Amino acid sequence: MNKILLIDKPAGFTSFDVVAKIRGKLRSENPGKKIKVGHTGTLDPFATGLLVLLLGSATKEQDKYMKLDKEYEATLKLGHTSTTGDPEGVIEKTSDKVPTTFEIKKVLKEFTGEIEQVPPAFSAIKVNGERAYKLARAGKEVNIKARKITIYEVKLLRYDYPKLEIQVRCSSGTYVRTLAEDIGKKLGTGAYLTNLRRTKVGEFDIKDASSLDEAIKQLT
């Protein structure tokens, strides 16, 4: 039970939901034993993709795995914004501007390297001991300081206005929701994420992951 488990997280599940299901299965198969289960980086409920779970004594190395670089595939909708930066917020049309592919590529290049990023208000970051998203949902002001992150590459995959699909290789601590919003601002169109899929965590690859149902069966 001391190992790493790669899960392809489905949409609609929080990372904690996945951890709870795996922990519940392990404890039902090993009555009387308290088996630790942790993850190495949260995925938003609407997002899918690679969730690296640590079981048993492997949880002792959680900090090491949390710091690994990540890779994502993301779909942005231009011309609109969301209060949360994703499909779960209030959507508003902001622009009819249709950027050219040349403009898109130029702007994407501007986001590579070490940059400062302000994490979203609707995030799990703690502000004065309180989760930011709880403050935001209560309508309270959320002040989060900018922090340095590294974007190694933002690659254009497909562009068919208003849909823009990109691949992002980045350091741990990067919020792709915020990156999408910042790209939209730079383009003068506004943007929010409609889809987000994590494909890599360090050397761990989504192609080696199991669905949640398959993973639960493997633990029997």
Residues identified as active-site: 44
- How far, rounded to the nearest angstrom, does the alpha carbon of residue 148 sit from its chain's CA centroid? 17
